[in-house]
A = this chain, B = another copy of it.
Amino acid sequence: MKHYKFMHEAIKEAKRSLDEGGIPIGAVLIKEGEIISRGHNQIKQKNSTVLHAEMDCLENAGHLKGSDYKKCILYTTLIPCDMCSGMLLLYKIPLVVMGENKTFSGPENYLQEHGVELINLNLDECKKMMSDYIQNNAEFWNEEIDRVT
Selected interface stretch from A1-9, A10-18, A60-68, A131-139: A60-68
User: Which residue on B lies nearest to A84, using beta carbons?
Assistant: B86
Closest Cβ of chain B to A1, distance in Å, is 29
Report B-chain residues with C-beta under 8 Å of the C-beta of A85. Answer: 86
Closest Cβ of chain B to A43, distance in Å, is 8
Pair A146/B65 contact, Cβ less than 8 Å: yes
User: Which residue on B lies nearest to A68, using beta carbons?
Assistant: B147
Pair A148/B92 contact, Cβ less than 8 Å: yes
Q: Is A141 an interface residue (CB 8 A)?
A: no
Interface centre among A82, A84, A90 (most CB of B within 10 A): A90
Q: A50-B50, A83-B83 are in contact. Are A90 and B148 (CB under 8 A)?
A: yes
Pair A61/B90 contact, Cβ less than 8 Å: no
Instruction: Give A contacts to B, CB under 8 Å.
Output: 47-51, 55, 58-59, 61-67, 69, 81-87, 89-92, 110, 143, 146-149
Contacts A49-B59, A65-B146, A84-B86 known; 5 new A-B pairs at CB < 8 A:
A47-B63, A49-B63, A64-B147, A86-B86, A91-B148
Shortest Cβ-Cβ A-B pairs, 3 listed:
A86-B86, A82-B89, A66-B146
